[in-house]
Amino acid sequence: MELNARIPDGPIEQKWDRHRFEMKLVNPANKRKFTVIVVGSGLAGASAAASLAELGYQVECFCFQDSPRRAHSIAAQGGINAAKNYQNDGDSVWRLFYDTVKGGDFRSREANVYRLAQVSVNIIDQCVAQGVPFAREYGGLLANRSFGGAQVSRTFYARGQTGQQLLLGAYQALQRQVALGGVRMFPRTEMLDLVVVNGAARGIVVRDMVTGAISSHVADAVILATGGYGNVFYLSTNAKGSNCTAIWRAYKRGAAFANPCYTQIHPTCIPQSGEHQSKLTLMSESLRNDGRVWVPKQKGDKRPPDQIPESERDYYLERLYPSFGNLVPRDIASRAAKRMCDEGYGVGPGGLGVYLDFADAIKRLGEQAIRERYGNLFEMYERITDENPYKVPMRVYPAVHYTMGGLWVDYNLMSTLPGLHVAGEANFADQGANRLGASALMQGLADGYFILPYTIGHYLATAKLEKVDATHAAFREAEACVAERTQRLLGIKGKRTVDSFHRELGKIMWDYCGMSRNESGLKYALQRIPELREEFWENVNVPGTGVELNQALEKAGRVADFLELAELICLDALHRRESCGGHFREESQTPEGEALRDDEHFAYVAAWEYAGDGASPVLHKEPLSFEYVHLAQRSYK
């Protein structure tokens, strides 16, 4: 396997423009001859499918939800970054580029990140033209707010439902093409395998989730835009359906998996309320603009927050990081909250929480202003906790959120398998070891609207593809594998539910590969996960049949994949003997407890190649060079 990032030559600010000119084109009449499969209909998938169909390609788009509108992108709350500098506060493409590389703890490619910052300004214009109702200032200009990891206000938002509004914009563009015949939409359809013909991705095998029918779809190029794998931890802020199956199938067909141990912990999640809970609910990072984070100065203080005077409160983020205060990046805010709770200063049940307090903001701006900015978030919090955050502080605690790891891609967003492109959270490319808030929506739309339309065309114009159809032996073999796996799951007839295995796996991952990791814990996890996986295949109970709507079967397939991915995550975390961003190795920290990188030995992308069942995966390294942002120990003090 060769890792060729295909980064263009020339100054960084000219790379993308020069590359677009040098790429081969497909003329408009010929575009109709090519079929592109898009798996996923969130921001990355919907924007890619709509954009490619507008260009004239024949597009088939698949999602397991009943409508593209239910993609997990709707859950994004706080905003989308763009270097417009509407606030005239010193922002620029260069500053967004710098903040993103630094925020990712110097573990991302400079060229990709600069392009992301460059394209960000176009995203906002396109979304406004689509009718996305961004918040506006009194004069009618688009409003901005600040976010973690930046000292400028560059985040565009639509109250606390930015992801939903952006997805509706992409959805209407997608539906326009569905109506025109440019896109064939396949809802309630799950991809279960990737088909590779002569070394190139040529299609997928899917299962109709209503009838159970297994079928093949042929294409000239395949795009995976299937999101992240945070649900490997069982409890996360992801939708329950979010899974790793599409990218894991691609990995087992030859696509390298990069940096799987880079998972992000979000600092402002509603704390877990009990063992019954199946997912966690996020409170937007935008709340840290006006909410102040604090804990009591006295350990184990059980007094209600309104009875704790100001002098007995520790606003620890403001104390530890005076330059950024409550707006430090997510990994730093999360570890600080964990440290406070571990030392006995936590609040709420079990001491696993810190306060996010809006009293000062309400006093300064008035309750109505806070309602206008965050009303739906406050309502969500009150419905879940039965506490009114206008009257008492929110309680929050870190939780698994976004995954920075994913399939390895080059500058053209193509994996190590020719023809297989990967967009949004499903690839590893832009976020490094920690994602800055409001950058997920930015990357998904940049990939779909502005990058893939060029790079897919270049691939199709240069690849020499033979004509294949669904009768090809590779499709028959993949279909047989999917059918055999389905029957195997249904035939086990064991004693344990799928959820019980998933919950146990999640606890192993959170305890030994969660907010902090160490060598002994990771080695224990690597011993325990294969044992749990073996028990799963001997003792899981999947009721029903494969020729009907069967959610237990859906979950079983996804958990089986999580049980394999979990081992790769821990293996990657064990080999990376440094701390960087969301990957915190306890053996590698500064005297102040901050992440301590080892640039001499680990300034690279770790790309893992599947070597077969039972064999150790092969590690490939893509060196990272920093020409424009010089390596330095991160400081937000």
Residue 330 appears among annotated catalytic residues = yes
CA dist 354 → 33, 122, 314, 351 (Å): 57, 38, 10, 8
Strands 200-208 and 189-197: antiparallel
CA dist 179 → 63, 64, 103, 127, 304 (Å): 18, 20, 42, 20, 57
Helices (H), 23-109: 28-31, 43-55, 93-103
Could you give the CA distance from residue 103 to residue 289 in angstroms, rounded to a whole number?
Answer: 18
Could you give the CA distance from residue 368 to residue 359 in angstroms, rounded to a whole number?
Answer: 13
Q: Kindly report the backbone phi and psi dihedral angles of residue 312, in degrees, each rounded to the nearest multiple of 5, phi listed first.
A: -110, 20
β-partners of residue 473 are none
Could you give the CA distance from residue 215 to residue 212 in angstroms, rounded to a whole number?
Answer: 10
Helices (H), 451-518: 452-462, 473-491, 498-513
Q: For residue 163, what is the enclosing H or E element?
A: helix 162-180
Question: Active site residue: 107, 288, 313, 330, which one?
Answer: 330
Strands 80-81 and 406-407: unpaired
Could you give the CA distance from residue 423 to residue 332 in angstroms, rounded to a whole number?
Answer: 27
- Tokens coding 478: 């993949």
> Which residue shows structure tokens 């297989």?
420
Which amino acids are annotated catalytic? 330
